[in-house]
Structure 1
Amino acid sequence: MIIQLKKQKIQLLFGYGALRILAKKYKLKRLSDLDKIFSKLNFKEGEEPTLEQMDVLVDLVMAGVLNADAKANVSSSEIADHIFLKNPDCLQEIMVSFSDSMPVNAGKSKKG
């Protein structure tokens, strides 16, 4: 997925690499520990997101940016301005892209 910041096109790449970047940022030892971070994104309908929730979203997007290009020339402030102030509609698309990158638990097939 690509987002447009000013005249710069920024690629987002979610998946294992982005999860590792997030885990490192939050000083976690296991990817499963990210569940504690993601649980903060339990938005309440009709309520403005908390600053902590907004920070987690920015961290998530930055992880996607850095996973696509470790030398990306973009700041978390620029990302925050873009997804919360200038183009909040893109946040839904970003969250879908992130969700689609998550592993699918196919479970065990049942016979009979």
Structure 2
Amino acid sequence: MSTETVHIEIDGVRYALRFGYAALRQLGKLWELNDLQEIFLRLGKLGDASDGTLSIPMLDTFGDMILAAIIANKENDATVLDNEIVVETIMKDHSIIQEVMQSYIAALPQPEKKKAAPVKRVPVKKVRKKS
């Protein structure tokens, strides 16, 4: 899990983003969803923006993700922000999207990597051929 803090500057104010459960809970509130699976399904519909093509629904979703991460950090005063202000910031710098996506993913619980069980070596008896 990454401990590096991601910041975004909006209208001259620098906000520290918080990811993980707190941000997912805020997304649930923004989208009026109570089920984490429904939230993940909606995030999964973002598609691939690696070619630089962004639709309005994609921008809205990214804006909500950033807004939720700002609200999740109680040190921020997010009362003056809304999705439109956040999306305008994203449109000026698309690299924010990649950084936010990576941070959301890094903050999710990762399955434990199980170590392979040691292989038990069974002694092999040599069989002598009868002559």
The normalised TM-score by structure 1 is 0.83
1:11-50 per-position Cα deviation (integer Å, ceiling 9, x unaligned): 1111101101112222222212212101211116536222
1:95 to 96, 101, 114: 101
Identity of aligned residues (%): 23
Aligned positions of 1:69-108 closer than 5 A: 69=74, 71-72=77-78, 73-84=80-91, 86-106=92-112, 108=114
Partner of 1:68: 73
More helix as a share of residues = 1
RMSD: 2.0
The normalised TM-score by structure 2 is 0.73
- Partner of 1:41, secondary structure, is coil
Structure 1, unmatched stretches of 5+, are none
Structure 2, unmatched stretches of 5+, are 1-5, 119-131
- Partner of 1:105, secondary structure, is coil
Aligned positions of 1:24-39 closer than 5 A: 24-39=29-44
What is the number of residues matched between the two proteins?
A: 111
Question: Which has the higher Rg, Structure 1 or Structure 2?
Answer: 2
